[in-house]
Amino acid sequence: MRAAGGWGGASGSRASEGRGFRLGTGLVALLVPAAVAGIAVVLTSGSILSIKEFGLSFWGTRTWDPVAGQFGALPFIWGTLYSSVLALLLSTPIALGIAIFLSDLSPYALRQPLVFLTELLAAIPSIVYGLWGIFVLVPIVRSLEMRTPAWLRHTPLFEGPPVGVGMLAASLILAVMVIPFTASVAREVLKAVPATQREAAYALGATRWEAIRATLFYGRTGIIGAIMLGLGRALGETMAVTMVIGNSPAISLSLFAPQYTMAAVIANEFTEAADALYLHALMEIGLVLFIITVAINALSRLLIWRVAAERQPRVVLPAAAPIG
Amino acid sequence: MTRTDWRRRAMSRLLVSFCAASVLLALLPLAWVLFFVGKQGLAALNASFFTQVPKPVGEAGGGMANAMVGTLILIGLGAAAAVPVGIVSGLYLAEFKATRLASAVRFAADVLNGVPSIVIGIFAYSVAVLPLGRFSAIAGGFALGIMMIPIIVRTTEELLRLVPATLRDGALALGATRGRAALTVILPAALPGIMTGVLVALARVAGETAPLLFTSFNNRFWSTRLDRPIASLTVQIYTYAISPYDDWHRQAWAGASVLIAAVLLFSILARLVTRRLERMHRS
């Protein structure tokens, strides 16, 4: 740097310049892990009152009564897990179908446009899904619920009044939002499976599907990683779910029942939390959401890398927006 | 042909058709959402939507001019923090790919990308709202910036890797230090692509609502002050969507159509640029 306009000065300053470059950029890069650690520290210290007051019973109690100062997070845990699992049941077959079609079956000319369109599903903001959910999906779900035969309405899965908002609407919308994430990672995983796997299957007389099954089996850890990545998205999704799930802290198996999720209760009540304990209880829910999603993301990444490492250095994960 | 052969073929055909059908099944909600937002939005959009601030309840008309400006300010603040951090971190990852810090940063970026946006909102609230004692544009911009960082880091790294190794070799052969080569040769070569990635990151966080609910909050009036609550397109759409008024619902659709138009525009633009870059590097 000292030799103005030149490519560097004497050899001593060059070495120090090289070290300076590495140190300077490295320090900035360190901010990224620091941010993750910062979130963990801030959320923990912000929920200390609730942790001390309720301990583990916070996660096993059903009562959520801010006025009485009683806080139990069980209904939100239930709602989050139930809606996410239902969404995964709906989205996984479709997402894998998309990944298989786009990596193995699609005509070449259609491939890029279809990849673009399916990834566009991830680009639609959560709030727009929510708006569409309130005014289009919920009325449709409501009329479906009203047409459900009476004998079915007496089973635990479909009991309750047909209000439209509730678990069914929420998991449908979640499924749509999760599909592009699972599909795009699963496609990368299938792309990373060596062509020899497919060729060997065909050489043994396999049908098209049997060859695909062989590649799916070969990439199974990565596929599981892709599904878990979708789960991570579903657990943390906020706006669209808040707008259609009904926001009622109830624990019910019924798909028709209005329920609540962890992310939704934070979104709805955070600005209303008047006293410290209330705020800390909400922060503790955020902390657990953070821990769960970090664990799931970390695990899914490890699984995906393991498959990808054999073929190429690293699978390019979609730089898609964190939905919320 | 044996019976099992026939069954295997039928099975294969069935499942292959399922794969094709699942693509159509996923495109159905996409078309449905886009169609509905377009239809409702076009019916509700007018000039005053772009020029006026919200009217009080009961008065028809008004617009989201303040919210659109607010969103621009918020993503501008976010970018001011995230672009330098993201590009420099991406540069580090591309230059020192095998170091232990590089894997830690890469891993942290992926993890950060998966942290729910509502949790980022709580973080920004604790760091930027509590000390100031009030909701502010700065807090909202901070939250959006945190969300942009992982996207920019990963895009920058990918695009720097696309730069042919011969360029770096040439610079080093001329006596450039590693840092010099990175800053004056490799980074400029990848810059158009990186800027595209930044634009995509901006468009994506522009659609975020959850991290703004309790950081930048909302504001029904004109405000460009950074230390005060500020309106944003997304929070305004949310407020209107859950309200009981038909006129507000119309405004929500109008806002959603503006948001979707911006997202589509950026996505298509980014795709065109990426394709051109790919073709350039291949030739």
Distance, in Å, from the CA atom of B90 to the CA atom of B163, rounded to the nearest integer, reads: 14
Based on its alpha-carbon atoms, the radius of gyration of chain B, rounded to whole angstroms, reads 24
* pLDDT tens-digit map of A275-286: 899 999 999 999
* Nearest one of A178, A241, A138, A120 to B34, comparing CA atoms: A120
Domain assignment present for residue A280? The answer is: yes
A121, A271, A301: residue with CB nearest B214: A271
In this prediction, residue B269 carries a pLDDT of 84
Residue in A22, A53, A91 with CA at minimum distance from that of residue A284: A53
3-state secondary structure B202-221: HHHHHCCCHHHCCCCCCCCC
Tell which residue, B74, B67, B73, B76, has the closest CA to residue B198: B76
Q: How many domains does chain A have?
A: 1
Contact B116 A120 (CB under 8 A): no
* Residues A206, B20: Cα–Cα separation, whole Å: 20
Rounded Cα gap, residues B3 and A48, in angstroms:
67
Nearest beta carbon to residue B241 from set A17, A21, A130: A130
Nearest CA in chain A to B95: A22
Whether A144 maps to a domain, the answer reads: yes
pLDDT digits (tens, 9 = 90+) for B107-150: 999 999 999 999 999 999 999 999 989 999 999 999 999 999 99
How many angstroms away from the CA of B21 is the closest CA of chain A?
Answer: 8
Is the Cβ pair B114, A294 closer than 8 Å?
yes
Identify the residue among B122, B204, B237, B242 best suited for mutation to test binding to A, counting A beta carbons within 10 A and taking the highest.
B122
Structure token pair of residue B253: 């659709």
Cross-chain Cβ contact A32/B153 below 8 Å: yes
Q: Give the pLDDT confidence score for residue B283 in this predicted structure.
A: 58
Cα–Cα distance, A254 to A252 (Å, whole number): 5
Question: Is A6 inside any structural domain?
Answer: no
Task: Take residue A81 and report the two structure tokens written for it.
Answer: 């897990």
In a domain, residue A98? The reply is: yes
Closest CA to B125 of B47, B229, B34: B229
Looking from the CA of B185 toward its CB, the CA atoms found within 13 Å total 22
Query: With respect to CATH, is domain B68-282 assigned 1.10.3720.10?
Result: yes
Percent of chain B's residues with pLDDT above 90: 67
Query: Rounded to whole angstroms, how far apart are CA atoms A127 and B234?
Result: 7
Count how many Cα atoms sit within 13 Å of the Cα of residue A289 in the half-sphere of its side chain. Answer: 39
Per-residue confidence band for A83, with pLDDT thresholds at 50, 70 and 90: very high
Which of B201, B209, B213 is facing A271, going by the closest CB pair? B213
Tally A–B CB contacts below 8 A.
313
Nearest-Cα distance to chain A for B74, in Å, is 16
**Any A CB within 8 A of B217 CB:** yes
Averaged pLDDT score across all residues of chain A: 89
B125–chain A Cβ distance below 8 A for any pair: yes
Q: What type of residue sits at position A249?
A: P
Q: Which residues of B touch A25 (CB under 8 A)?
A: 88-89, 91-92, 95-96
- Chain A residues in contact with B237 by the CB 8 A cut-off are 127-128, 131
pLDDT at residue A8 is higher than 90: no
What 8-state DSSP symbol labels residue A148? Answer: S
CATH number of residue A179's parent domain: 1.10.3720.10
Chain A partners within 8 Å of B26 (Cβ):
94-95, 98, 118, 121, 176, 179-180, 183
pLDDT at residue A114, rounded to an integer: 94
- What's residue B57's pLDDT? 80
Mean pLDDT for the stretch of residues A168-176: 97
Radius of gyration of chain A (CA): 24
Residue in A97, A117, A289 nearest the CB of B119: A289
Cα distance between residue B253 and residue B116, in whole Å: 25
Cα separation, B88 vs B230, in Å, equals 30
Please tell me the predicted confidence (pLDDT) of residue B179: 87
Query: What pLDDT shows up at residue B282?
Result: 65
From B18, B114, B119, residue closest to A297, measured CB to CB:
B114
Residue A34 within a domain: no
- The ipTM (two decimal places) reads 0.93
The conformational region for residue B63 under phi > 0 = left, psi -120 to 50 = alpha, else beta, is beta
User: Does pLDDT of A317 surpass 50?
Assistant: no
Nearest-Cα distance to chain B for A230, in Å, is 10
What is the pLDDT at residue B68? 95
Percentage of chain A lying above the pLDDT 70 cut: 90
Would residue A48 count as lying in a domain? no
- Nearest Cα residue to A76 out of A235, A232, A229, A227: A235
Rounded to 10°, the helix A276-311/A31-46 angle is 150
User: Helix or strand or coil: residue A246?
Assistant: strand
Å between B59 CA and nearest CA of chain A: 22
Domain-wise residue ranges, chain B: 68-282
Q: How far is A154 from chain B (nearest CA, A)?
A: 31
Mean pLDDT taken over chain B: 91
Q: Residue B279: its pLDDT value, please?
A: 77
Cβ of B43 under 8 Å from any chain A Cβ?
A: no
Long-range CB contact pairs, A193-198, < 8 A, 24+: A193/A218, A193/A219, A193/A307, A193/A311, A194/A218, A194/A310, A194/A311, A198/A104
Beta carbons of A286 and B182 less than 8 Å apart = no
Share of chain B residues as helix, strand and coil, in percent rounded to the nearest 5: 75, 0, 20
Could you tell me if B112 lies within 8 Å of chain A, comparing CB atoms? yes
Residue A5 pLDDT exceeds 60: no
Q: Which residues of B23-56 are buried (b: 16+ CB within 10 A; e: fewer)?
A: bebbbebbeebbebbeebbeebbeeebeeebbbe
Alpha-carbon distance A129 to A261, whole Å? 17
Q: Residue A18 CB: number of other CB atoms within 10 A? A: 15
Nearest to B118 among A17, A25, A266 (CB): A266
**Inter-chain contact A132–B93, Cβ cutoff 8 Å?**
no
Contact between B235 and B216 (Cβ < 8 Å) = yes
Quick check: is A201 in a domain?
yes
B258 touches chain A (CB under 8 A): no
Q: Is the pLDDT of residue A316 over 80?
A: no
**What whole-number distance in Å separates Cα of residue B18 and Cα of residue B23?**
9
- Residue B272 sits at the chain A interface (C-beta within 8 Å): no
Q: Give one DSSP letter per residue of B223-272, joined into a string.
A: ---TTS----HHHHHHHHHTSS-HHHHHHHHHHHHHHHHHHHHHHHHHHH
- What domain range includes position A164? 74-311
* A32 → closest Cβ in B109, B201, B210: B109
Distance separating the N- and C-terminal Cα atoms of chain A: 45
In this structure, what token pair is assigned to residue B18? 């399922």
Please indicate whether, in this complex, the C-beta atoms of A8 and B180 are within 8 angstroms of each other: yes
pTM for the full predicted model: 0.91
- Residues of chain B where predicted confidence (pLDDT) is lower than 50: none
For residue A120, the chain B residues in CB contact (below 8 A) are 30, 264, 267
For B13, the closest chain A residue by CA position comes to A209
Is residue A32 in a domain? no
* Span A97-102, average pLDDT: 96
Say yes or no: B35 contacts chain A, CB-CB below 8 A.
Answer: no
